[in-house]
Chains A and B, each alone.
Chain A
Amino acid sequence: MKNVELIKTLSENAAELEKQVFALTGDESKAALKELNRTGELIDKLIKKTLDETAAEYTDAMTVLQECVVAFGEAQGKIKKIVKTIQKVSGALDAIEKLASKVA
C-alpha cells in the first residue's frame, strides 16, 4: 500500500502543477507543464507497477471459482443418475414384458 500512498501524494502534486499550467504564462507555464508531464509519467509507471504486483493475488481465488464451476457440473451429473436409475427400472420392466409376450 506504500505505492498507493505515493501515487496519491504525486497525484495531489500533479493537480497543483496543472493549476499552475493554466494560471501562469510563457516560460513559467511551460516549465510547470514539463514538471506535470514528468510527474504524470511517474504516476503512470507506479500505477502499472502496482497493478503488476497485485495481479498474482487474483490467481488463487480464480482457481477456487473455476473448481466450483467443475463441482456444479459433477453435482448435476450425480443428480441425473437418479433419472437414469428410474429409466433403467422402466427399461427392465419393458424387457420383462417383451419376454412375457414371447412366452405367451
Chain B
Amino acid sequence: MSRFPLSPGRTLNALPALRTPALFLFLVFLASCVAHPPIGKIDALTRASYEVATGARAAYTTAIELEQKRLLAVLYTNETPGPESYELRPEDSMAPRLLAREAAIDVLVHYTEVLQAFAKYDFGSEIDDATTNLAASISSLSKRTDAGIDSGTVGVLSSIVNAAARWMAESARTDALIDIMSKAQPAIEKICTLLNDDHALLIAENIKNNRRLIRANTASFVLQLPSIADRAAKQDDLVRTLATAAAALETLDIVRTTLAQYPAAHREILNAMVDQPIETQLRSLVEDAQRIHKYYRNIKSLNR
C-alpha cells in the first residue's frame, strides 16, 4: 500500500467519479455563462452592407454617365456657351466626389466583413484540436511513466481544459465585440447619416438636374435632325437614358432605406450580447451540454 493515500495517480483517477451530471453541469454552466454573438443578425448586417455598396455604385455610375450625356446634349444645342471640350476636367466632374462616398461605403463594408469573420471564427475547433493533443500527451506520458491515469480520467481532465478554454475564448470574443462595436456605433451612425443626406439632397438632385437638361436639350436638338431615322434613334436613346436615370433614383431610394436602418441593426446586435434573452441562454446551455458530452466520449475512446 502506498505511503501516500492520495498519490497523483489515485487522486487523478478519482476524477471519473466526478463524471456525474454535476460535473458536466458545471462545465456546461461555465461555457454558457457567455453571451454568444447573434450570427444570423450579423450575417444580415453584412448582406445589407453589400446591398448598399452594390446599389450606391450602380447609382454613382449612372450619375457619371448622365453628366457626360448632359455635357453633349448642351453642347449640341449650343444655346448657352458650352464647355470647350467633350470631356470634363476631373475637378469639374462628379467622379472624384462620388469616389469619396464610395470610399466611406467600402470602409463600412470592410468593417462589417471583419466583424462577421471575428464573430464566426471557429476558435472552438482549434481548442478541440489542442485539447485532444493535450489528452494524447497526458495519456502517452501516463503510460510511459506508469502513472496509472486511465482513459476516463484523461477524458475528464481534457474536458475541463476544453470547457475552460472555450469559456475564456468565448468571453474574450464577446467582450471584444461589445467593446469594439460600442466604439464603432457613433461612427456608423455618422457615416450613414452623411451618406443619406448626400444621396437624398445632392446626388439625387444631380441626377434629376442632368436628366432635365438631357431631356430639354435633346428634344430641341432632335427636331433639327433632317433624317427621320436619326430622329427615331435619338428619341430611343433619350428614352433609355431617362429610364436609366429613373432606375438610379429608385436605387438611391432603396440604399437610403437600408442605410437608415443600418445603425439600428448594428445596435441591435450589440444589445443582443449585452442582454441575451433567457431562451437563447437556455439553447446555448443545451448545445454546450451536448458538445461537452460528445467531446468527453470522443477523448475517452481515443485514449483507450
Contacts and interface: CB of A to CB of B under 8 A. Distances in A.
- A, B assembled together: yes
Interface stretch (B113-121, B226-234, B235-243, B276-284): B113-121
Contacts of A58: 100-101, 103-104, 191, 194
Contacts of B216: 18, 21-22, 33, 36
Interface in A43-67: 43-44, 47-48, 50-52, 54-55, 57-58, 60-62, 64-67
B123 A71 contact: no
A72 B134 contact: no
A72 B202 contact: no
Contacts of B94: 48, 51
B137 A94 contact: yes
B209 A40 contact: yes
Given A58-B194, A69-B110, A64 B144 contact: no
A102 B201 CA distance: 79
A21 B213 CA distance: 11
A72 B115 contact: yes
A101 B184 CA distance: 55
Given A51-B198, A73-B114, A61 B191 contact: yes
Interface string B61-81: 000000000100010010110
Interface stretch (B8-16, B37-45, B168-176, B286-294): B168-176
B137 A18 contact: no
A34 B220 CA distance: 11
B239 to A, nearest CB: 16
Interface of A: 4, 7-8, 11, 14-15, 18, 21-22, 29-30, 33-34, 36-38, 40-41, 43-44, 47-48, 50-52, 54-55, 57-58, 60-62, 64-69, 71-73, 75-76, 78-80, 82-83, 86-87, 89-91, 93-94, 96-97, 100-101, 104
Given A51-B100, A57-B194, 16 more contacts: A33-B220, A36-B213, A37-B213, A52-B97, A58-B101, A61-B187, A61-B191, A64-B186, A65-B191, A67-B183, A68-B111, A75-B180, A83-B165, A90-B133, A93-B141, A94-B140
**What 4 pairs across the A-B complex have the smallest Cβ distances?**
A75-B176, A93-B137, A64-B187, A86-B130
